[in-house]
Amino acid sequence: MDTKRWIEKDVAAMPVKPNLLDYEEARKNFSWEEVGQHFDGLSSGGLNIAHEAIDRHANGALREKTALIWHGKSGERKTFTYGEMKHLTNKFANVVKDLGFEKGERIYMLSPRVPELYIAVMGILKNRSVMCPLFAQFGPEPILQRLQGGDAKGLVTTERLYGKKVAGIVDQVPGLKYIFLIDAKDHRDEKVLSLPKLMEEASEEFTIEPTDPEDMSLLHFTSGTTGKPKGVIHVHKAIYTHWVTGYYVLDFHPDDVFWCTADPGWVTGTSYGIIAPWLHGITNVVDEAEFDAKRWFSILQDEKVNVWYTAPTAVRRLMRLDVDPLKEYDLSNLRLIQSVGEPLNPEAVWWGMEKLKLPIHDNWWQTETGGIMIANYLSQTIRPGSMGRPIPGVEAAIVQRNEDGSATVITEPGKEGDLALKPGWPSMFRGYLHNEEKYKNSFVDGWYISGDLAYRDEDGYFWFVGRADDIIKTSGHMVGPFEVESALMEHPAVAEAGVIGKPDPVAGQIVKAFVSLKKGYEPSEELRRELIAFGRKKLGVAIAPKEIEFMDELPKTRSGKIMRRLLKAQELGLPLGDTSTLEK
Ligand code: ATP
Ligand code: MG
């Protein structure tokens, strides 16, 4: 192993002592029951996310503390204290309660990242209804699919989105009782209502009724990277995981300002863009606008962000722009950067070291796991390219599935297999909505099978290989796209790479790479040949791409994941399948 390429940490030199100092110790002494001691519980009985995230703080010492700093698209800035959030979310809870929304009924969000979105999410949970977030950029078809698929009873949206995307499909969702317009002055009719008006009339007092920790809280659709998005069921108890990962992985300290750049349409934007920071009573930053390097660095600087949670796609964008932030911005408050959603190429980790003087910490999880499962920790050595090690309380393994339905744990370091988790962590999904069969099939011989392939090294670090669907079989070799993509990214011209297996009569499949270039580079035959040679040198002839095609932008999901299945379908002239999450 090339230990020279590891990033060692100097904990003594860190401005704040990390919460996790000794990984093995933290795992050994861990108990999920103890995590429960950080919560109040409801006086009426049970556990409710919104109580623990908002009311618990509003009723105590953090009442006047800023819970939310909001940056509007047009330059506005607003802040809300925990006390204010309590009253606003109570009002929202009363709005839906008074209109007859019940426990378990689904209320959807189709909204830009405005404060009302965050208020509604917590209000819905207080009423014990279920919150289901959608990307505001979705078109009418994906919205309809999901409203129908999740039996929507309510929808919170804006006048513009309603007119453009919802009005035309609403008849096809007969169960939808009410639509709340965030920015409408007056009610339109019996069904389409003005939220400000209802909020004005609603009481600030609300008592959360008994909530079973196992009650459904969120319905989240997966990113649709590998196929049709699945509706994933989560419960209130998931906050145990959010609390623990907030503590150990995001290293939340009481005075922290935290920014998660993910949209709540994607699970990262709810679990960590809303819930985890508020469970810890810290200040959460939200930006309504889309990616913009200057804007982002200004926010990091001006809000004195301490912990930043972002995604590989954003990091690669910054790399592509060739920015040098420390020359222009004071980012001295930033002490931790975490990233999730896709494999984080080693180049991206090193980019952080060079340009931000901080490494980027990769972590792994899925909509199904509800929270971070495998991570790199602030105090621990980073092995760039590795997702890190399982969080305390979670057992992960590489398993081999056998024909007889059993699964064998692979103990041999470096051997690839299915990345699997031992069921039982609190934020584990409790089902795929209306697809019990698929849910059952995710569990094999006592393991949850993630659908990702990985290997484990001798020290227990997990390394992502690829999604099971994306693995390439070429001349007897199994090739994971991540390895090839990461190697190509080491070339100075390459901004992003997406690698697929292209059917070939001799090799079975050949490795083909789609490549987008950094600023200042133009596609040319010469560069194509250079990249092929570069790949061979890095990877060897067997694994290196045989074909390279330049693209301005690779197709991605709204959550920023490269859609290799689309690259493949396009290459083969096949139907594109579900493209509802494609970023257009
Ligand atoms: P779908 O299930 O609809 O195909 P999806 O799997 O992309 O979409 P998500 O639940 O948002 O939907 O994403 C989880 C997946 O993202 C993981 O299974 C993994 O493939 C990928 N992923 C997340 N984090 C990482 C990471 N740190 N390294 C590698 N892959 C990651
Ligand atoms: Mg998935």
Where residue 584 falls among pLDDT bands split at 50, 70, 90? confident
**Ligand 2: centre distance to CA 232 (Å):** 10
Q: Which ligand is nearest to the CA of 563?
A: 1
**Ligand 1: centre distance to CA 225 (Å):** 8
Instruction: Return the C-alpha torsion angle 250, 252, 256, 262, nearest 10.
Output: 40
Contact 339, 385 (CB under 8 A): no
Q: Kindly report the backbone phi and psi dihedral angles of residue 53, in degrees, each rounded to the nearest multiple of 5, phi listed first.
A: -85, -30
Q: Which ligand is nearest to the CA of 471?
A: 1
Q: How many CB atoms lie within 10 A of CB 59?
A: 14
Q: Which ligand is nearest to the CA of 224?
A: 1
To test ligand 1's pocket by mutation, which of 366, 429, 464 has the most ligand atoms within 8 angstroms of CB?
Answer: 366
Has residue 427 got a pLDDT over 80?
A: yes
Instruction: Return the C-alpha torsion angle 49, 449, 542, 343, nearest 10.
Output: 0
pTM of the model: 0.96
The domain defined by 38-456 folds into Rossmann fold (3.40.50)
Helix axes 481-489, 346-355, angle to 10 degrees: 40
Has residue 238 got a pLDDT over 70?
A: yes
> Does the beta carbon of 366 lie inside 6 Å of ligand 1?
yes
| Strand duo 77-81 + 472-474: pairing | unpaired
Has residue 45 got a pLDDT over 90?
A: no
Residue having the nearest C-alpha atom to atom 12 of ligand 1: 223
Q: Which ligand is nearest to the CA of 343?
A: 1
C-alpha 108/C-alpha 179 separation (Å) is 9
Residues 168-190, mean pLDDT to the nearest whole number: 98
> Does the beta carbon of 361 lie inside 6 Å of ligand 1?
no
**Ligand 1: centre distance to CA 281 (Å):** 28
Six-digit token string for 378: 């602030």
- Cross-strand pairs, 511: 501
- Cα–Cα distance list, 34 to 29, 370, 393, 470, 484 (Å): 10, 20, 11, 40, 43
Average pLDDT, the chain: 96
Torsional class of 138: left (φ above 0), alpha (ψ -120 to 50), beta (otherwise): beta
Q: Kindly report the backbone phi and psi dihedral angles of residue 18, in degrees, each rounded to the nearest multiple of 5, phi listed first.
A: -65, 150
> Does the beta carbon of 310 lie inside 6 Å of ligand 1?
no
Six-digit token string for 37: 């001691």
Where residue 3 falls among pLDDT bands split at 50, 70, 90? low
Closest C-alpha to 266, from 334, 314, 213 = 314
Closest C-alpha to 259, from 238, 249, 274, 244 = 274
Helix axes 312-321, 346-355, angle to 10 degrees: 60
Residues 129-139, mean pLDDT to the nearest whole number: 96
> Does the beta carbon of 581 lie inside 6 Å of ligand 1?
no
Among the residue ranges 22-31, 144-153, 221-230, 248-257, the one predicted with the least confidence is 221-230
- Predicted local confidence at residue 477, as pLDDT: 87
262 three-class SS: coil
Alpha helix positions (H), 338-435: 346-355
> Does the beta carbon of 343 lie inside 6 Å of ligand 1?
yes
When computed from its CA atoms, the radius of gyration of the chain, rounded to whole angstroms, is 24
- What is the atom index within ligand 1 of the atom nearest the CA of 467? 20
- Cross-strand pairs, 502: 510
C-alpha 160/C-alpha 147 separation (Å) is 18
C-alpha 464/C-alpha 21 separation (Å) is 25
> Does the beta carbon of 452 lie inside 6 Å of ligand 1?
yes
**Ligand 1: centre distance to CA 366 (Å):** 5
**Ligand 2: centre distance to CA 316 (Å):** 22
**Tens digit of each residue's pLDDT (9 = 90 or more) over 366-419:** 999 999 999 999 999 999 999 999 999 999 999 999 999 999 999 999 999 999
C-alpha neighbours within 13 Å on the C-beta side of residue 212: 6
At which residue do the structure tokens 């999410």 appear?
Answer: 121
Has residue 2 got a pLDDT over 70?
A: no
Contacts of 120 (CB under 8 A, 6+ apart): 92, 107, 109, 111, 131, 156, 180
Has residue 1 got a pLDDT over 70?
A: no
**Ligand 1: centre distance to CA 11 (Å):** 31
By the CB criterion, residues less than 5 angstroms from ion ligand 2 are 222
C-alpha 531/C-alpha 551 separation (Å) is 14
C-alpha neighbours within 13 Å on the C-beta side of residue 313: 20
- What is the atom index within ligand 1 of the atom nearest the CA of 581? 3
> Does the beta carbon of 226 lie inside 6 Å of ligand 1?
yes
* 229-253 as b/e: b if 16+ CB within 10 A: bbbbbbbbbbbbbbbbbbbbbbbbb
Contacts of 160 (CB under 8 A, 6+ apart): none
Query: Looking at this protein, which amino acid is placed at residue 12?
Result: A
Q: Break the chain into its structural domains and give their ranges.
A: 38-456, 471-572
CB-based contacts of 181-184 (< 8 A; 24+ apart in sequence): 181/157, 182/111, 182/114, 182/116, 182/117, 182/156, 182/157, 182/158, 183/158, 183/159, 184/159
- Predicted local confidence at residue 461, as pLDDT: 98
- What is the atom index within ligand 1 of the atom nearest the CA of 374? 27
- Predicted local confidence at residue 475, as pLDDT: 87
Contact 261, 314 (CB under 8 A): yes
C-alpha neighbours within 13 Å on the C-beta side of residue 575: 3
**Ligand 2: centre distance to CA 451 (Å):** 7
Has residue 165 got a pLDDT over 70?
A: yes
C-alpha neighbours within 13 Å on the C-beta side of residue 434: 10
> Does the beta carbon of 385 lie inside 6 Å of ligand 1?
no
* 282-304 as b/e: b if 16+ CB within 10 A: bbbbbbeeeeeeeebbebbbebe
- Predicted local confidence at residue 108, as pLDDT: 98
Contact 474, 510 (CB under 8 A): yes
- Cα–Cα distance list, 342 to 245, 267, 336, 366, 381 (Å): 18, 13, 19, 10, 20
C-alpha 446/C-alpha 406 separation (Å) is 9
Q: How buried is residue 565: exposed, middle or buried, by Cβ count under 10 Å (0-12/13-18/19+)? A: buried
Domains 38-456 and 471-572 in one fold? no
The domain defined by 471-572 folds into GMP Synthetase; Chain A, domain 3 (3.30.300)
Q: How many CB atoms lie within 10 A of CB 551?
A: 16
Helix axes 481-489, 525-539, angle to 10 degrees: 120
**Ligand 2: centre distance to CA 366 (Å):** 6
Residues 321-325, mean pLDDT to the nearest whole number: 90
- Rounded to a whole number, what is the largest CA-CA distance in the chain? 72
